[in-house]
Amino acid sequence: MNKQIHITDLGIIDYQKAWDYQEVLLKENVQVKLAKGKGSPATDIPVVTEEETTNYLLFCEHPPVYTLGKSGHIENLLINEQQMQEQGISFFPTNRGGDITYHGPGQVVAYPILDLENFFTDIGKYLRNLEEIVIRTLAEYGIIGTRSAGETGVWLDPEDKTRARKICAMGVRCSRWITMHGLALNVNTDLQYFNNIIPCGIADKKVASIQEELGREVSLAEVKERMQRHFADVFGAEMVLKNN
């Protein structure tokens, strides 16, 4: 099993361009899987191939954009197309899980393109692992992140209805155990953008950022470095830095 994960930082990139790139990497991995053990039409003898699937971890930031999961509700978008244009915000219905969320500058977005057959074949465990990476990263800043029963993502004070707030949203897609999409951690994010949506379709809880919790800006590069380290620990992986 290939437990190497190749890291690429895409910098600031349009949502559609990043989505297209993820699709390319996913399809390449699916083709590798389909080729393994496929018989020759003439002999029906399985072809032996040494090619392995490749695991990736993509980091990026997006210009302001709202994205809606495949099971989401458009009613959770509280502004119309003209208002989005006036505010310079894009909108995309997507093929990930989850409802509506916001991506924008100051946010660390992570897209793991993993072949879970290299690690474990359990989507629930995969999501819990992503949450664990964020929880450990937040702990390095003295922030207690935790889970909220029945709700994916990472939360602060989820048991207190007056203070519960989400700091990291997640939504994934999986095809033949290859993952795409991922998580968005609010670091220095302008939280005003969340006022235009019902984040993740949850009306009674707020959103948070590391900056808001600490009262100061935080280095995105530092956050990503710490997330990489915890990614390696949680997944038992070897992280390999790739030049973009």
Domains of the chain, with CATH numbers? 4-241 (3.30.930.10)
Nearest to 6 by CA among 52, 46, 62: 52
Whether residue 215 has pLDDT greater than 70:
yes
Q: At a CB cut-off of 8 Å and minimum separation 6, what does 26 contact?
A: 113, 175, 178, 180
Tens-place pLDDT, residues 64-97: 999 999 989 999 999 999 999 999 999 999 999 9
Whether residue 38 has pLDDT greater than 70:
no
CA–CA distance, 202 with 143 (Å, rounded to integer): 22
Q: Pairing mode, if any, of strands 146-148 and 178-186?
A: unpaired
Q: What is the mean pLDDT of residues 151-167?
A: 94
Whether residue 39 has pLDDT greater than 50:
no
Residue 169 labelled as part of a binding site? yes
Residue 182 labelled as part of a binding site? yes
Whether residue 47 has pLDDT greater than 90:
no
Residue 203 labelled as part of a binding site? no
95: its two tokens? 């093929």
Q: What is the mean pLDDT of residues 17-46?
A: 80
Q: What is the mean pLDDT of residues 108-112?
A: 98
Name the most confidently modeled range: 46-50, 71-75, 111-115: 111-115
Distances from the Cα of 173 to the Cα of 19, 22, 78, 228, angstroms: 12, 11, 25, 21
Phi, psi (degrees; rounded to nearest 5) at 193: -65, -25
Average pLDDT, the chain: 93
Tens-place pLDDT, residues 172-204: 999 999 999 999 999 999 999 999 999 888 777
Q: What is the pLDDT of residue 41?
A: 46
Residue 201 labelled as part of a binding site? no
160: its two tokens? 């207190």
DSSP codes, 89-117: -EEEE-SSSSSEEEE-TTEEEEEEE-BGG
Residue 104 labelled as part of a binding site? no
Q: What is the pLDDT of residue 40?
A: 44
Confidence band of 224 (pLDDT split at 50, 70, 90)? very high
Catalytic residue, chosen from 60, 168, 174, 200, is: 200
39: its two tokens? 């018989």
**CA 94-183-93 angle, 5° bins:** 10
Q: What is the pLDDT of residue 36?
A: 78
**CA 4-130-56 angle, 5° bins:** 30
Q: What is the pLDDT of residue 244?
A: 57
Tens-place pLDDT, residues 130-141: 999 999 999 999
Whether residue 163 has pLDDT greater than 50:
yes
**CA 133-159-206 angle, 5° bins:** 75
Residue 96 labelled as part of a binding site? yes
Is 168 marked active-site?
no
Residue 102 labelled as part of a binding site? yes
CA–CA distance, 23 with 113 (Å, rounded to integer): 9
Cβ pair 203, 217 in contact under 8 A: no
Q: Which residue has the higher pLDDT, 199 or 104?
A: 104
